Amino acid sequence: MSDSVPILKIGSTLLVSIQVDLQDDTALQLQEDLAERITRTGARGVVIDISGLEIVDSFIGRMLASVAAISRVLDAQTVVVGMRPAVAITMVELGLSLGGVRTALDVERGLAMLAPAHESAESVLLAAAAERESR
Amino acid sequence: MTTAPSATATERLEVRADSDVVRVRQLVRTVAQQARLSLVDQTKLVTAASELARNTLVYGGGGEVEVELVADGRRSGVRAVFSDEGPGIADLDLALTDGWTSGNGLGLGLSGSRRLVEQFSIDTAPGAGTRVEIVTWSR
């Protein structure tokens, strides 16, 4: 077995940053862990940062598509962010289109994409600031 | 281009577990850098190697991969050979069709990896195992 991939919770969003060369069993474990965390926390969004991945082959591509489909069924949206240009070129040539998976260039844009679905990070910060002032 | 490529040391890895597939990717990446492939070509080659090593493991029941840096005088390149003693492939044309799978994969491993490399050859027969050779040259 290899190390599992950590899942962080920020507000109602789960953030996963894949920093290791994913082996197949780790990818499957991540898929299960995410489904479990979405139901347990009621998360509405999942951001998967793949900027650390040097390749996305058919197995990892299928894992990303499955996570998007599973989270959709569990009432959460998934955004895959940070794909390297060489990975994008290779994936398309391989024949993987990641249909049904939303993508953004980086974590910040990914979080912004999810923001309208629930509360935006900005509105949370504004509310917190207003609360401090009213004290 | 008929001169036989001169080869340097060949590295050999066994493929028996998921972690070995990762090891194959890392070895191919290292040799691709030595061959001075562009980043896109490195990525394509490593992705193809990942697909083929997984095939060796899943469909071939395990096997081995040989990776070597090759040169033909003008260019350098990477050759990788994936071999197993598994059941072999009965209908090669079908196996090379996008979307067709005998297992529960996406059916892109063989057909997709062929698109990602410069040279691709496969030698297989029912009961006789499978041997896939790929080569990508520097530009």
Buried b (16+ CB within 10 A) or exposed e, B3-39: eebeeeeebebebeebebbbbbbebbbbbbeebebee
Query: CB B106 to CB A94 under 8 A?
Result: no
Distance from CA of B3 to the nearest CA of A (A): 30
Cβ-defined contact of A94 to B113 (cutoff 8 Å) = yes
Q: What is the pLDDT of residue B97?
A: 84
A55 touches chain B (CB under 8 A): yes
Q: What is the mean pLDDT of residues A65-83?
A: 96
* Structural fold of domain B11-137: Heat Shock Protein 90 (3.30.565)
The residue among B16, B38, B40, B43 with the most chain A CBs within 10 A of its CB, best to mutate, is: B43
ipTM score of complex: 0.87
Please indicate whether, in this complex, the C-beta atoms of A93 and B116 are within 8 angstroms of each other: yes
First CA to last CA distance, chain B: 14
The residues, any chain, with a CB within 8 Å of residue A47's CB and separated by 6 or more, are A13, A14, A15, A16, A78, A79, A81, A107, A110, A111, A114
| A98 vs B: CB within 8 A | no
Q: Tell me whether residues B51 and A56 touch, CB distance under 8 A.
A: no
Helix, strand or coil, per DSSP, at residue B6: strand
State pLDDT tens for residues A16-32.
999 888 999 999 999 99
Tell me the average pLDDT across A91-114.
92
* Residue-wise pLDDT tens digits, A40-72: 999 999 999 999 999 999 999 999 999 999 999
- How many other CB atoms sit within 10 Å of the CB of residue A52? 13
CA distance linking residue B136 with residue B134, whole number of Å? 7
Please check whether residue A25 touches B, CB under 8 A: yes
| Nearest-CA distance A92 → chain B (Å) | 10
Could you say which residues of chain B have pLDDT below 70?
1-8, 102-106
pLDDT at B125: 92
Pairwise CB contact (< 8 Å): B22 & A56: no
